[in-house]
Structure 1
Amino acid sequence: MDSPHGAAVTAEDFGLKGPRGWAFRGVRLDASPGALIAIEGPSGSGRTCLLLALTGRMRPSEGRAEVGGLRLPRQMAALRRISALGPVPGVSELDPAFTVAEHLRERALLQRRYDGSLRALLRPRAERTAAARNRIETALDAAGLDPARLPKAERTSVRDLERLEALRLSVALALIGRPRLLAVDDTDLKLSDAERAEAWELLRSVADSGTTVLAACSQAPVGAIIVRTATTATSGTSGTSGTSGTAEADASDASAPAEAPEATTEKTTAEKTTDEGTADAFAETGRA
């Protein structure tokens, strides 16, 4: 099987509105295949809605976006087939009662059932089992998770995993389907500085392997393409919706390197959003 080829992601004046306000608005983005894209903003700023909209799980209200050559919102169903969700609270969460082995086995079975070709389904059982095991091992290796090192190996329950271990498991489950776009929410939530660095190293390695990564976070890492879902009007530093600039020109970005690589200088901002707008967007749009 060929290695996954990442999906290019572009957006122009992209927005999603609920009855009481905008979840996000004015988003502009231009990212190449295999990019690491960080959606930066505080909780309630619309970052999860933007992540779900760019993976075909929520319907946008205005503007345009294209992911892997698929236009939104017209080709949302097709986009869902080439994208995969890592951990997204309330949408794709791990079952705390399941063991690591049960999660992996379930995902492999679902992958074979819904995404496998007819020829693959007709292969001998032993061959199908070996193929599934190989896919699981490849995904675990890419996620940097070695079940043998867990307290009870593959029989370890999700509730007994550390936060970073759970993140790695969620990423592995998503990668079993060999997606072109991987989306991860709350990337840096409840992580120490050292663990946060490990999490971004993981996602950067996934991107380097060819899969485009879209990660929502409170603080973006150095070198990522940054999309900001809120500005801070109360602090006197408000941004203009849809404005972009280089890392060198954006003096307000404390995380930007002095000399950013050419592929990581694109930055975007969006209008300030409200908790009500984000909540309504979830309620009105629904999730897939």
Structure 2
Amino acid sequence: MVRSSFMPVDISAQDVELSTKKGPVYGPLSFTVQPGETVALVAGQSNGLSSLLLTLVGRMKPSGGTVTVGGITIPQHMRKVQKIATFAGFDDLDDLDPALTIAETAYERISLESPIIARRPGWEGDHMTSCLHAAFGTEPPGSDVPIEDLTVLGQAQARLFVALVCRPSVISYNDVDSLRNPNDQAALWESLQRASALGITIVANTANVGAIPDGVRQIFAERPDNRDENRVVDESADESADRSADQFANEETRVDIPRSPTDPITTTRHRAGSTPAYQHTHALAAEEANHGE
């Protein structure tokens, strides 16, 4: 269960890295993120940043170094980090059911992450309104709008909104470049900045520095063995950014945590018996080690 209010925390990474039998995934990297800051991890598409983002929120174990989130150390206390940090934008991990409305999706997430909550927040209340405006801006969609009726940008913003509703202290947002239109990328960065203004520490990844707005600090995170393949660009990412996170699996990276309300997975197909979340996380790491991101 996540905390009951937004409480900004810092992130400190010291020589954090992940390697598997297939090779290096990310790092070693050292950096800090201030409480309530929005930071862009910048690297080409074969540098393991998706796995790094999962590490920062306690969903994937590093093979070396440490990460401290609000004074809580990874890998020693990953469960505690999961209580204050969440993620968005990861295929197969936080997919939204296209048939559900925005309100249904939000309240499903709340019921999964906070099952003992005495009363769910009202849609017109301050909390939900703040989350809506942070994610969507001044004209958010109505509560009865199905996810499938949103634009590509709107669906990306909806994933952020659903991450916000349970009041995390940290959100890692994966692959801003999945939005092919640079204007959409810039709009999503603005959504992330509005979320950080609520008091949330935001870390996201991109290869397109041209869409990053002022006020977002950039941390260049190219893997040392991959720097000769630097694909950081100043325009929208190309088609080679497409990938599937289900091609490989490597048990070394598995975070063997039972599925629970702290794992923000909302789709009904997941509850119906789809692939467990941990398989997707270590599959992603194995693929990134295989230079397939």
TM bucket, shorter chain: 0.7 to 0.9
CA shift, 1:188, in A, is 2.9
Determine the C-alpha separation between the residues in 2 that align with 1:169 and 1:26.
Answer: 32
> TM-score by structure 2 length?
0.71
> Mean Cα displacement is larger for which, 225-234 or 4-13?
225-234
Q: 1:43 aligns with which of 39, 42, 45?
A: 45
The question of whether the paired residues in 2 share the 8 Å contact of 1:8 and 1:68 is answered with yes
Q: CA RMSD in A?
A: 3.1
CA shift, 1:90, in A, is 2.0
The question of whether the paired residues in 1 share the 8 Å contact of 2:58 and 2:79 is answered with yes
Determine the C-alpha separation between the residues in 2 that align with 1:225 and 1:214.
Answer: 10
The question of whether the paired residues in 1 share the 8 Å contact of 2:39 and 2:217 is answered with yes
Q: Which runs of 5+ in 1 are unaligned?
A: 122-127, 239-252, 256-274
Deviation string, structure 1 residues 63-87 (Cα, Å, up to 9, x no partner): 1110111001011000001012122
The question of whether the paired residues in 2 share the 8 Å contact of 1:54 and 1:67 is answered with yes
Are 2:188 and 1:199 aligned?
Answer: yes
Q: 2:134 aligns with which of 117, 120, 142?
A: 142
DSSP-derived class of the 2:45 partner? coil
Identity of aligned residues (%): 23
Q: 1:186 aligns with which of 175, 189, 206?
A: 175
CA shift, 1:129, in A, is 4.7
Larger Rg: 1
Q: Residue in 1 aligned with 2:79?
A: 77
Change (3 A) 1:130 1:57: closer
Q: Match of 2:159, as an amino acid?
A: S
Change (3 A) 1:155 1:254: closer
Determine the C-alpha separation between the residues in 1 that align with 2:254 and 2:53.
Answer: 13
The question of whether the paired residues in 2 share the 8 Å contact of 1:56 and 1:79 is answered with yes
Q: Match of 2:145, as an amino acid?
A: T
DSSP-derived class of the 2:12 partner? strand
DSSP-derived class of the 1:56 partner? coil
The question of whether the paired residues in 2 share the 8 Å contact of 1:164 and 1:191 is answered with no
The question of whether the paired residues in 2 share the 8 Å contact of 1:95 and 1:158 is answered with yes
Q: Residue in 1 aligned with 2:208?
A: 219
CA shift, 1:35, in A, is 1.4
Q: Match of 1:225, as an amino acid?
A: Q
DSSP-derived class of the 1:59 partner? coil
Determine the C-alpha separation between the residues in 1 that align with 2:99 and 2:63.
Answer: 38
The question of whether the paired residues in 1 share the 8 Å contact of 2:131 and 2:195 is answered with no
CA shift, 1:46, in A, is 0.5
> TM-score by structure 1 length?
0.72
Q: Match of 1:28, as an amino acid?
A: S
Change (3 A) 1:78 1:233: closer
CA shift, 1:182, in A, is 1.0
The question of whether the paired residues in 2 share the 8 Å contact of 1:39 and 1:229 is answered with no
Change (3 A) 1:196 1:81: same
Q: Match of 1:29, as an amino acid?
A: F
Change (3 A) 1:161 1:140: same
Change (3 A) 1:43 1:225: closer
Deviation string, structure 1 residues 130-183 (Cα, Å, up to 9, x no partner): 557533333212212578x64xx4333222221111121111111111111011
CA shift, 1:186, in A, is 1.2
Q: Residue in 1 aligned with 2:223?
A: 230
Determine the C-alpha separation between the residues in 2 that align with 1:281 and 1:224.
Answer: 33
Q: Residue in 1 aligned with 2:112?
A: 110
Q: Residue in 1 aligned with 2:163?
A: 174
